Amino acid sequence: MAEEQKDWYTVLGIERTATTKEITKAYRVKALKYHPDKNPSPDAAKIFHELSQAYDVLLDPAARAAFDNLLRVKVQAQERTDKYDSARRKMKEDLENRENAFKKQQQEEKLAASRMHYEMERLKQENYKKRAEREAELLRQADEIADAAAEARLAARDAEAKSLDSTLKLKWKKRKHTFNTEDISSLFKKYGTIDSCLSKNSGSALLTFKTLTGAYEAMKAFEREEKELLPFTITWAAGVEPIAVSTLRSKEKSSSTPSSTSNSLSTSSTAGSDLPPSAFNVGFGTSFTPAFGGARSDFGFSQAPSFATPPAFSGSAAFADDYEAATLAKMKSRDLERKRLAEEMMRQDQEEEDHLRLSQESKEKKVKT
């Protein structure tokens, strides 16, 4: 490896513009100082030799011009090196800055993605909760509708039952038989629960059952001429047979099996039972007690009770069929409404998810750009 070129101006400690006189003076001062005969330092000889070389080169015009040219070339090369080094440093700094910016962008994107994932999960959980609440509310409303329908049905049947005449008019020959209220109640209670019994021991009585079923069963027993009812003549207190009973009789006649009567009008065989048949399925909410007053009559009361012809029984089998059909239609409508609401909720949830997804994609595009 070649030895590095000495800067002779630096060795003598002078400027590059120094004159010959200044070069000679600087040489003499340093030569006296570092002459081996006067300086015992081990480096004195080497320094003295360099001083001699510098003096010889700088005093010779041609050698000095060549040395100055060499220094100029080295300075230019150093300037170019410094310039390149500055460019490289700048490029390195730019690369580091871009790398840091890229890392920062990656961290921000990762943080944004994590935050978006958290928000999506939060919204999903909230949507699940809202959906469950809406479904619970729909079920609650459906139950309320069903309960209201059942209550309306019972109320309608109760109202229909109140329009029924479950009162029988009893007559007997008072010369041969003596029946009081307790006797009549005890005799007829096996057909159904008795609501009231009016009798004045004058050969007649008004017997009101809790349900039309009891009155109908008592009338059928009279028509079958059961032994314990032979002393009585039994008719409907209203003067006409209730429409529900007439309808039921028609069905019983058209039925081919004997069990149809018991299925259509099921009652308990035990005393006091008042379970209503499917055609009626209701009982009186209040007792029926006719009003009496005025002059006596052959019926044994101060005035024969006045009964108007009962209104048409809307609780007949035909009404029951219509009511069942209407109830089924309402239930079907309710199911359709629930299905529509469920589909509407699903559509809203899908729109929310699509909106969030599009928003996330838009944010990602902005970050990339």
The CATH number of the domain where 36 resides is what?
A: 1.10.287.110
pTM of the model: 0.31
Of 23-32, 87-96, 303-312, the range with the highest mean pLDDT is 23-32
Q: Where are the beta strands (DSSP E) in the chain?
A: 167-171, 194-199, 204-209, 233-236
Q: Quick one: 174 and 239 in the same domain?
A: yes
Q: Quick one: 173 and 250 in the same domain?
A: yes
φ, ψ of residue 279 in degrees (nearest 5): -70, -30
Q: Which long-range contacts (CB under 8 A, 24 or more apart) does 133-138 make?
A: 134/341, 134/345, 135/342, 138/338, 138/341, 138/342
Sheet with 204-209: strands ordered across: 194-199, 204-209, 167-171, 233-236
Q: Quick one: 65 and 105 in the same domain?
A: no
pLDDT at 78: 86
In a domain, 357, yes or no: yes
Q: Quick one: 187 and 285 in the same domain?
A: yes
For the chain, the residue count is 369
Per-residue model confidence as pLDDT tens digits over 160-209 = 554 456 888 888 887 777 788 888 898 898 899 998 888 766 688 888 89
Per-residue model confidence as pLDDT tens digits over 226-259 = 888 888 899 998 788 888 788 878 877 787 555 4
Q: Quick one: 215 and 114 in the same domain?
A: no
Which of 52, 81, 110 finishes a domain?
A: 81
Q: Quick one: 16 and 77 in the same domain?
A: yes
**3-class state of residue 190 by DSSP:** helix
Per-residue model confidence as pLDDT tens digits over 290-312 = 444 444 444 444 444 444 444 44
Of residues 31, 85, 25, 30, the one with CA closest to residue 59: 25
Q: Residue 239 belongs to a domain with what CATH number?
A: 3.30.70.330
- List all residues 6 or more positions away from 281 whose beta carbon is below 8 Å from its beta carbon: 157, 315, 320
In a domain, 75, yes or no: yes
Q: Quick one: 222 and 144 in the same domain?
A: no
CB 243 within 8 A of CB 312: yes
- What is the number of domains present in the chain? 3
What's the domain range around 245? 167-313
Q: Quick one: 127 and 181 in the same domain?
A: no
Q: Which residues make beta-bridge pairs with 204?
A: 171
